[in-house]
Amino acid sequence: MLFIRHVRVQPYQRVVVFRDGEPIRLLEPGRHLFAMFARNVRLRHFDVREPYLDTEDLEALIKSGLLSHEVEHVRLQRHEKALVWIDGRLDRVVGQGLHAAWNSFLQVRFQTFSVLDVFVQHPDLEVLVDSGLLSELTDTVEIGDRQRALVWIDGRFERVLEPGLHVLWTTMKRVRVDLVDVGDGIFKEGQTNREEIETVLQTAGTSKVLEAVYVDEGHEALLFRDGRFDRSLEPGVYALWKNVARFRTLHVDLREQMLDVTGQDVMTADKVTLRVNAVVTFQVADARRAVEAAEDFSQALYREAQLALRAVIGTRELDVLLSEKDQVTDELNRTVDAKAAELGLQLVSLGLRDLILPGEMRALMNRVTEAKKAAEANLVTRREETQAMRSQANTARLFESNPTLLKLRELEVLEKVAEHSDLKVILTENGLADRLVKMV
């Protein structure tokens, strides 16, 4: 059955004609007269003063294109959110799905965000926060001038936030924000643990806000803030905040160190010039005093060792120096140890490695030594000869007082001679035996 229908559309209205459930025409403000079929034609009235187009036919309306000049729309995925601005005012936040709003009487704008990027980038963050519409969807962090924030996403460190207002989406990812007081410029114990500090320092981009300080085992680092000593850092890893103060670190080796004091020309009290080589072993006892007492404490100790060598050796003659090396070494240690303590150092040992004489002096000393050794050798020889002569005299007196013993001695001599030759000895009367003995 055919009906003729009169339709009047107000200026704040729009009418959509549906046929068989599909939108076919948009009726704008004014009077309209048209024929319609009762069963398959339907009219839907919309008040454009209500900005949001909420209807079950929204998908069909958008696809038809009838409202392209009348409606702003946006289609959002699961990971997206949109801010709806009406006449420059934030009105609501919408999520997944198709959303549309009339823009005939009002200025409507959809601003889309991906919540996979947890950091909300917007020039008017204060407006967003003041609206309260994001309170259940985001975390708001306001960081003071003496604060920084460490952001962890799904258990992994992401970045460091500097002073200001920050808004982070929390709908799809686990977000943790740690506020850190940077008043002293260094991570305080309890703000984060050592493993987390290393993780933060290894993340790209943190070098812009953090400076890493690594202190090796056996060392101590002195931290200076704005030119003044602040604290000592034990072995470990530390992070210093940039743009908080002017920091400088000095690393001091606390292990035993050696200084070679070589090629020192020193004149003894008897005007003999020696070239002295010494070895100084020391250890830093007070790192702060060592750094503050001298520009280079190693060089300062080197100079003190030089002066001590000249002072101690210069007051002794060469013979005394060579014969009293232990006493000289002890005096050197006492002298340098007192100076080392003033530098914050502990003297472990100071020893004379070489005492080198000039060439002509060495030759003279060698001749003197040779003469002494020759005299000692002659003395020993004369002593042995005297001892031998005394022994022979004692033997002669013994033979003289005991003729039988002399005869036995003669026979021993003959026996030794017979061992090396074919000699036959016939002993008869004493006279013949005496003659043979005399002949032998």
* Owner of token pair 């004369």: 382
Sheet-wide strand order for 257-267 = 257-267, 273-284, 345-356
* Mean of all residue pLDDT scores within the chain: 84
Query: Residue 432: its pLDDT value, please?
Result: 46
Measured CA to CA in angstroms, residue 352 lies from 53, 64, 338, 366 at distances of 99, 103, 18, 21
d(CA 278, CA 259): 8
Q: Which helix (H) or strand (E) holds 18?
A: strand 13-19
Average pLDDT over every residue of 352-367: 69
Instruction: Label the pairing between strands 89-94 and 80-86.
Output: antiparallel
Task: Kindly state the tokens that stand for 119.
Answer: 């950091």
Judge residue 240's burial from the number of C-beta atoms within 10 Å of its C-beta, 0-12 exposed, 13-18 middle, 19 or more buried.
buried
pLDDT in tens, 185-197: 887 544 556 677 7
Type of residue at 327: Q
What per-residue string of b and e applies to 187-214 under the rule 16 or more CB within 10 Å gives b?
Answer: beeeebeeebbebbbeeeebeebbbebe
pLDDT in tens, 81-120: 999 999 989 999 999 999 999 988 889 999 999 999 999 9
d(CA 15, CA 47): 9
Type of residue at 136: E
d(CA 437, CA 210): 113
Q: What residues does 169 pair with on adjacent strands?
A: 138
pLDDT in tens, 370-424: 677 777 778 878 888 788 788 877 777 777 777 777 677 777 766 776 676 665 6
pLDDT in tens, 253-279: 999 999 998 888 888 888 888 888 899
User: Which residues 6+ apart lie within 8 Å of 13 measured at CB?
Assistant: 29, 45, 46, 47, 48
CATH class of 259-356: alpha beta
pLDDT band (50, 70, 90) for residue 282: very high
Question: Which of 58-67, 181-190, 346-355, 429-438 has the lowest average pLDDT?
Answer: 429-438
pLDDT band (50, 70, 90) for residue 40: confident
Closest of 220, 216, 214 to residue 234, by C-alpha: 220
Measured CA to CA in angstroms, residue 259 lies from 20, 301, 351 at distances of 102, 9, 11
User: Which residues 6+ apart lie within 8 Å of 89 measured at CB?
Assistant: none
Question: Which of 169-178, 304-313, 395-404 has the lowest average pLDDT?
Answer: 395-404
Question: Which of 145-149, 170-174, 209-213, 374-378 has the lowest average pLDDT?
Answer: 374-378
Length of the chain: 440
Query: Residue 378: its pLDDT value, please?
Result: 80
Query: Residue 189: its pLDDT value, please?
Result: 47
Type of residue at 176: R
First to last CA, the chain: 180
Task: Kindly state the tokens that stand for 424.
Answer: 């036959």
Question: Which of 60-69, 170-179, 355-364 has the lowest average pLDDT?
Answer: 355-364
Query: Percent of the chain scored above 70 by pLDDT?
Result: 86
d(CA 67, CA 120): 31
- SS3 category, 368: helix
Type of residue at 103: N
Cβ proximity of 187 and 180 under 8 Å: yes
> What number of helices (H) and strands (E) belong to the chain?
10, 23
Cβ proximity of 273 and 234 under 8 Å: no
Judge residue 377's burial from the number of C-beta atoms within 10 Å of its C-beta, 0-12 exposed, 13-18 middle, 19 or more buried.
exposed
φ/ψ of 186, rounded to 5, equals: -140, 150
Average pLDDT over every residue of 36-48: 77
Whether residue 328 is predicted with pLDDT greater than 70 in this model: the reply is yes
Q: What angle do CA 285, 290, 296 make, to 5 degrees?
A: 130
Closest of 314, 322, 315 to residue 356, by C-alpha: 322
Average pLDDT over every residue of 346-372: 74
Question: Which of 184-193, 221-230, 239-248, 290-299 has the lowest average pLDDT?
Answer: 184-193
Type of residue at 184: D
Query: Residue 249: its pLDDT value, please?
Result: 92
Angle, in degrees to the nearest 10, between helices 325-342 and 297-313? 150
d(CA 269, CA 273): 10
d(CA 71, CA 46): 12
For the chain, what are the domain ranges?
Answer: 1-114, 259-356, 402-440
DSSP string, 16-80: EEEETTEEEEEEPSEEEEEEEETTTEEEEEEETTS-B---TTHHHHHHHTTTTTTEEEEEE-TTE
